[in-house]
Amino acid sequence: MVTALGPRRFIVGEPVLKAAGPARRSRLALCRLSADTLKLGLGLLGIPSLERM
């Protein structure tokens, strides 16, 4: 449960699309890398992932 709170705190406290300049680019890159990591992990487990939420 504690692990699940980390991403939520980031999402709520650090808005991605409302950020300006370099912060926005960095946050979008972090989101992309997180999505890629989740997709890879689910794929290794044989679980299909969604392309979009």
> Residue 15 and residue 18: Cα distance in Å, rounded?
6
**Mean pLDDT along residues 23-33:** 91
Q: Does residue 4 carry a pLDDT above 70? A: no
Under the banding of pLDDT at 50, 70 and 90, the label for residue 45 is very high
- Model pTM? 0.69
The answer to whether 16 touches 24, Cβ cutoff 8 Å, is yes
> Residue 45 and residue 40: Cα distance in Å, rounded?
9
